[in-house]
Amino acid sequence: MAVAIRACDPISRPAFAGEVSGIDLTRELSPAAVTAIHDGMTRFGVLVFREQKLTDEQQVAFSRQLGPLEDAISDLRPVEERRISMDLSDISNLDQDNRVMARDDRRRLFGLGNLLWHSDSSFKTVPAKYSLLSARAIPPRGGNTEFADMRAAYDTLDEEAKAEVRDLICEHSQIYSRGLLGFTEFTEEEIKLCAPVRQRLVRRHPVTGQLSLYLSSHIGTIVGWPVPEARAFVRDLVEHGTQRQFVYAHAWRPFDLVIWDNRVTMHRARRYDPAEVRDMRRTTVTNEVSSLEQAP
Ligand code: OGA
Ligand code: MN
């Protein structure tokens, strides 16, 4: 069966978020299928695949066909407390014994940073290109993931604003995003690991040449700006870029796999009952270079 992609919302967002059919991700993909996925990502920014019953090994193997992966080191779980391999980020609310974490579990509270609009690994010198999130168990209500189109966010700025943001450089750290939620207790070691990293605020897509706003809750300041002014401005941009018409909300079904391009989107998780199991696993294809190398 040939790979086909149709827009999830053809009327209001024909070029953002597509649903893919005709592909089985548990098997090794043909070069043509890999190309179709890359092309679909370039066009839609978010791709949804239904009914993909992946094991961790299959998810990793499939993800590697799209590019080199980054290590899953950003969730503050020591290696001995991990449920799954270092090739996958554990986006669940489960501990190493597969039990739902207590409401005040530090690892859970840290993970709540995902409720804020962000782009994955923007706090790393070399950030994420694609994220691939597989739903293994979902709660009965809530827990959607929302995606905002940062190409549209840039395109709809007025000319004055476009000129103002074009060459700005932001500093990103998980300390900032967690700080927004009042999660402020970090060890010396964690503070060292979370040293701020610089990224461009406007970046150019290497294939399409399109510009997009590179926003994230991990941003703590703009280089050369007073901090309060920078944060207020970044808030305005996030508010602009996450208006409903730019947002696709994904309502998960078990064994959905969603891929998003972190260069052109932001995303956030929505709340769900903390007593219910939500088991999601993410592989992440690295961008290989900093956004500083993707100037307009
Ligand atoms: C992620 C993420 C959102 C969600 O996996 O990077 O932000 O809904 N997930 O779990
Ligand atoms: Mn994320």
CB neighbourhood size of 278 (10 A): 21
d(CA 107, CA 178): 12
Assigned token pair, 156 = 């709809």
Q: Please write the tens of the pLDDT for every residue from 132-181.
A: 999 999 999 999 999 999 999 999 999 999 999 999 999 999 999 999 99
Q: Please write the tens of the pLDDT for every residue from 176-203.
A: 999 999 999 999 999 999 999 999 999 9
- 70 CB less than 6 Å from ligand 1? no
DSSP state of 100: B
d(CA 207, CA 189): 38
Residue 1 CA to ligand 2 centre (angstroms):
32
Residue nearest to atom 7 of ligand 1 (CA): 114
Residue 39 CA to ligand 2 centre (angstroms):
22
State which ligand 1 atom lies nearest to the alpha carbon of 89.
5
Q: How many CA atoms lie within 13 A of 134 on its CB side?
A: 23
Q: Is the pLDDT of residue 17 over 80?
A: yes
For residues 17 and 46, the answer to whether their CB atoms sit within 8 Å is: yes
- 74 CB less than 6 Å from ligand 1? no
d(CA 18, CA 42): 11
d(CA 168, CA 229): 13
- 134 CB less than 6 Å from ligand 1? no
pLDDT for position 78: 75
Least confident of 65-74, 101-110, 214-223, 228-237: 65-74
d(CA 211, CA 295): 9
CATH of 4-293, one of 3.30.1490.100, 3.40.1260.10, 3.30.365.10, 3.60.130.10: 3.60.130.10
Residue 196 CA to ligand 2 centre (angstroms):
18
pLDDT for position 206: 95
Residue nearest to atom 10 of ligand 1 (CA): 269
Residue nearest to atom 8 of ligand 1 (CA): 269
Closest CA to 169 of 205, 118, 223, 123: 223
**Average of per-residue pLDDT values in the chain:** 96
pLDDT for position 76: 66
pLDDT for position 144: 98
Q: Coil, strand or helix: which one is 79?
A: helix
pTM attached to this predicted model: 0.97
State which ligand 1 atom lies nearest to the alpha carbon of 269.
8
- 258 CB less than 6 Å from ligand 1? no
pLDDT for position 82: 86
Q: Is the pLDDT of residue 228 over 70?
A: yes
The mean pLDDT of 101-127, rounded to a whole number, is 96
- 90 CB less than 6 Å from ligand 1? no
Tokens 């050369």 sit on residue: 224
d(CA 296, CA 283): 28
Task: Look at the chain and count its residues.
Answer: 296
Amino acid at 201: L
Phi–psi pair at 49, nearest 5 degrees: -120, 125
pLDDT for position 72: 78
Residue 256 CA to ligand 1 centre (angstroms):
13
The mean pLDDT of 62-70, rounded to a whole number, is 97
pLDDT for position 46: 98
The mean pLDDT of 45-62, rounded to a whole number, is 98
Q: Which residue has the higher pLDDT, 131 or 76?
A: 131
Q: Coil, strand or helix: which one is 252?
A: coil
pLDDT for position 207: 95
Residue 132 CA to ligand 1 centre (angstroms):
10
State which ligand 1 atom lies nearest to the alpha carbon of 145.
8
pLDDT for position 248: 98
The mean pLDDT of 77-90, rounded to a whole number, is 86
- 280 CB less than 6 Å from ligand 1? yes
d(CA 151, CA 179): 27
